Every structure is written in structure tokens, then in C-alpha cells.
Chain A
Amino acid sequence: MTDAATSPDGQGATVPGSRSPWRAAAAHLGRNRAAMAGLVTLGVLAFLAITVPALSPYPIDDIFWDAIGTGPTLAGGHPFGTDANGRDLFLRTLYAGRISLTVGLAASLVSVLVGVAWGTVSGYFGGVTDSLMMRFVDILYALPFMFFVILLMVYFGRHVVLIFVAIGMVEWLDMARIVRGETLSIKRREFVEAARAMGAPSLWIVARHVVPNVVGPVVVFATLTVPRAILFESFLSFLGLGIQEPMTSWGVLISEGATQMETQPWALVFPATFLAATLFSLNFLGDGLRDALDPRHR
């Protein structure tokens, strides 16, 4: 901010006013150590989840008859041990990461895209539009969610994508309500009036003035959505409506491991550590993003 004045009499290489806000935000995020550590951790987890099961010499449901329920041994080739059925937990934990990370990210993506669009439009236009849109949200809230999922399963058969659809459909409801509330206060600010006075179309104002100002709560809430979606998926799987054996997810592994906590603690510790590391990283990254996107915190 201080170096702008150094170029003698104006027209140097950069025209003043052309600084990209995205580049500034990225630079700020890069200086935030906790956020960068979170980003790197998530990247490593995702990388391992994709590559390790793909490169593994045996499938995830391969049973090692000579190593049923053994603890973690590097020498035996099972760094995380095996479960009660003799399957390698290292492989299964990383494979589970694929499902859990995808569910979490897909749910928060749907929640951000649909929730922000729905909430800002509803809040900004107000009146009848607002009433209709929010009553629709209320109706979806009121529908028994399990009934909804079972209906989906009955009609379309059991499929992983259906879990994304089902979780995505409920997760955007909270986001829409939060964003609508924020929008109601933003639209009374004078810069919105000034934009209207300049003849800007309403959707343009929503995109340029309202959305950038709801980023703070949206980012925080989106990072909270990821763990909820992951746990939600394990709940569905527990009921037999989600992921089915031999596929697995962190939620499934944790609930299985919890039942054998006293005899085989490693079956709980490793997936739980991975889930915790993911949530920690997401929180740090979310905080960093919120600060980086707000010029007042730079």
C-alpha cells in the first residue's frame, strides 16, 4: 500500500486502480502460517487418499487370514494394523478418506452455491419473492429427512451419488437462512442505495455489493458444514442407507472402531486422527480465508 507512490509521475507499468483483489487475498492467505499448514495437510490427505488405494497391490477388501485383528506393525506390512476381519486398516482408512472428503466438500459446495444464491436473492428482493422462497425452505426443513432419503433410495436404487444429493439438499437450508439475514442488514446500507441511484440492475448489485459482504459468515459456516456432512454420511451408512461394505468412510470406520475400542484401539485411533486432522485444517483454512477476503483485516 505504500509502494504505490514510488513510481514517478503516474503512468508506470501498472495503472493505479487495477490491483486485483483476488491476488491480494491470495498473497495474504500465503502469509498466514496456520491457514497454509491447513491447506498443505488437506492437500497431502487428498493426495494419499487418491494415490495409495490406486497403487496398492491388493484390493481394500482383501483378507489377511494370518493377521486378523493385529495391531500396527511396520514389519508385518500393516502400519495401521488390521480390523476384526483381517483387512488392512492403512488402505481402508485412506480409501475412506476419498468418500468422506468428497461428501464433505460436495455438501459444502452445494451449501455455498445454492445457499448464497437463494439467501441473497430472497433477502435483497424481499416482499412476495422473499416469502415464497423462505416458505419453500421451511417446507424442506419440515420434511422428515430420513423419509426423503429412503424415498430417493427406493426410486433410484442405492448409489453413492444419491448420498451427495441427499446431504446437499438439506445442508443449503441453514446457509440460505444465514445469508438472507446478513443480506437484510446489508441492503439497508447506503452503498447499496448509491448503487441503485447509479442505475445498476438488481442482480448486478447482489453480485457486486451483497455477495462480497456476506463472505465472512459464509466461509465460517461452510467450514462447519464439512464435519457435519461427514458425520451425517456415517449416520446414513450406519442405518444401511449410505456407503455399503466393502466400501467405507471415516464415519463408518470410527463407529466400527468405537465398538472394539478396548480390544483393538488402533481401529478407532487412526481414522479418528485423520478426521480430526481434516477438521483442524479446515478450521484454520476457513479462518484464514475469511481474513484474507476482508480488506479490513489485511
Chain B
Amino acid sequence: MAVLGSLKTFQGGHYFGLFEGTPRGRRLSNAPLPKRVTIFLRQGFSAEVAPLVQVGDRVKTGQVIGVNEPNPQRPSTPVHATISGRVTVIEKQPHPLDGQPTLAVTIESDGKDEWQFLQRPAPNYERLSAEELGKILYDAGVTSGGQAGFPTAFATAYGLPERMRYLLINAIETEPYFEATDQLLYEEFDKFINGIKILRQALGNVQVHIGLGYNKPRIYEELITRLEYYDWCTVHQLLPKYPQGEDAVLTRTLIDLLVPKGGYVTDIQCVVQDVQHCVAAYEAVVEGKPFVERVISVAGSAVKEPKNLRVRIGTPIAELLDNNICSKAARIVLGSVLHGRDQQNLDLPALKDTPAVVALKEAEAELMPVAGPGFDRDSFTGAYVSLPWLKIKRANTSLNGNERACVRCGYCLDVCPQNLFPAMLGEYCANHLVSDALNIDLMACIECGLCAYVCPSKIPLLEQIREGKRHALEEVST
């Protein structure tokens, strides 16, 4: 019998308003087949893999175009072509996530979309062993979601020698604009449930904890009905507070385990998967489809019509935003607007772990923007009047003035989900006092970006802390 979890949450965090241009409740639609895709041979956390194809080769959708020997030290997955066509370019390009030059394969579509499925799809997955399932997941290139993008196969019996203890399902989306995964949960519920079963089996029959937003009572009841007779499953209802979906926060909230400083959830024998990757696991094992397509929200204040799309991985941002963007200058952010990167080059593609492409209107000069009740403003403070029936908020991209000296208001401490002292961390990091910063738990920061979001002095705390972490890692390695 599934254990009924109670309403859980964590200290700190912030409930974001519903920003204008959020595709809430829009049904998933298939994006038109891209004319050209650029596929990076490094996805998320994984190591870069060696290309298997050459310029001029014809490839099919789902064909492996890059692979490394499986190696738990440097985990990687095979990389698949996501459309059928001809390879035109293989060269190093700046990776959209960190700007590092990374080998990328560009494929021109032939418009036919011929598929090459996995060799051993297994509709009766219950009969397969953990190793076999792990192999299929590896071949399909399923990675875990979130920032880490850790290849799932390496958490399974196929990859790591040590056993995992928990599988956590992140079915709560708390970031602004990320609506596609929620929509996937509604539309592909069966695949989601079976995906969880597959992943659990591949991890060696571990305990499963599902974190679900409490604002989805229908899904909750459905989950309880379907999973009622399994003693390995607990469904928790969580308050939809950002950053509930971050690995460290989810682990703490659901099973009360602390992720080590500077470590990953796999260090405490946990695997975190989100809805998209559960569905991908199902499609890989049962339908034999490699992970070449994911759901992406096209959202933001500069988008004419916000959408939730099924998109081939590697589709250039420009094609996703095609004709759907206001003519005004916009800032394009791949992934999270809180800790993602803005993209100048719109030829760069969406990746395996990109839940959204957000286009934000650039702020323009306003007369006395801080005066007035501010019904449409999102704020951690109560300094603006919010009315319950006016839910749509304006995304504020302006800094409300220059960066000021810290006035020590303490908001960053109040929102920090990791219970850190961001103002002091930022100050230390900006002054290169790395050892002092490490003393107050610099490495425990999960870079959710909330401290910089709420700062009334508009201090770039997130950037300062990231810089400090980079320095700290360099010092360790030298």
C-alpha cells in the first residue's frame, strides 16, 4: 500500500507569480520538423564523446552519431541523430550551457524523417534484468534531468558498481515559464507511471519517492490509485515553491537526506528523475525510441503566442522562436531565467536538459515605476499590493537603478533554500577570500539564483558565488 505523504516543503524559497507569456494549460503540440539540427557531443554533465560519422554521411533519426566506451569515471551516453538527412558540418562550437568549445554535428534534414529504432525494444520489460534495462537506457541516451544531466544508465546496475537506494521523481515544476513538463504529466500519464516502474527496475528495485505539486490533486489521486498496491512507492505532495525541484532540495524534503557539499545526489545513493526522463525511459524500453525528442516551453513576455512543444533535440533556437517573437529587442534565455544563460547566437540548439526557451522583453524607461500599488509586480516582499484575482505578473528585467551597497536587509538569508549567508558569501567571493567563503559553506550553494533575484540592492550575488566556486575548484585541483 502506498504510503500517503503529507504536505511537505522546505525553509526559504519563493512562490513565483504567474508571469505573462507562460503557456500554462496549453496542450503539447509537435513542432515542425527542423530543417537543420546541431547536436553537441557533450550533453549536460556527460563527457564529450567521439563522433562516429563524417561530413557527407547520410543518417537516420535515432542513429548513433557519437559514442565513447562506457566508463563510470567519465560517464557519457551515445549521442543520436535527431532527424534524418546528411551531415554537413562537424566542428567545435561554444556550448550553450557554459560557452566551452565543444564538438557539434550539424545535420541538414532531408524531410523524410526515417527512423532507426533501438535494436532490442522490450514491451514486456518486467522480465528484463536490471543490467539489460540499464543497457537499453544507455543505448537510448536517457539522462537525468535538472542541472546535472547525469546519464541514467550510470546510476543503474549497468553502470555504477554501487547500488542506489532511492529513486526520486521530480514531478513538481516551480520555475517560472516551465510548463511543458507539467503538461507532459497530464498528457502522458501512463508512460510516466510505466517509466517510473522501468527506472525502478533498472536501479535494482529501490524505494521510489514521488514529489508532486499539491496544486495537482487530480494527478495525485490518479497516482495513488495506480500505485496503491506497491509498498515501494510514496507520493508526497509539495508546496510549489521555487527551488523545490532542485536535486538537493528535493532530496532533503522527500527523504531527509543531505547532499554533501560540492557533491551530487548520486553520492548519497539517490537518483533524481523528472517527468520528461521517465517518459523517455518508457519510450526507449517499450517503443524502442532513443531520446531524440523532448518537450520545451516557448515562453516569455516577448513571445506572441506561448506554446508547449515537442521538439527534436538540436533544433536551433531561431527555429523554435520562428515568427513567434515580438519585433522589440528581446533577451533569449535557454532554460532557467534564474540561473541559465542568455544566448546571443540563435543558431545554437536546444539540449536534452532544456525545459524552456524564454524570450524576455528588454526593459524600457518608465516614469516612476516604483510608485503606485504595483498589482502586476512579483516580489518576495509585501511592498507591492497583490490581489488574489490578478494573478498574471510582469517579469521585471530592470535593475531599478544601479547596483548599490548591501543594506543588509537579510532577504537573501530568508530565501536561501540551503540556509546559507549569501550576502557574506558574495562579499568574500568578490574579494577573492575563497578560504573564508569555504568556511561558511560556499560549496553547499546550489546556484538557484534566488538571492540575486530578491536583492533590493541588485548585487549580482549568483555571479559572485559562481566565480568564487570556480576559484575554489581551481585551488583544489592545483
* A and B together in one complex: no
Measured CB to CB, the residues of A under 8 A from B are none
Measured CB to CB, the residues of B under 8 A from A are none
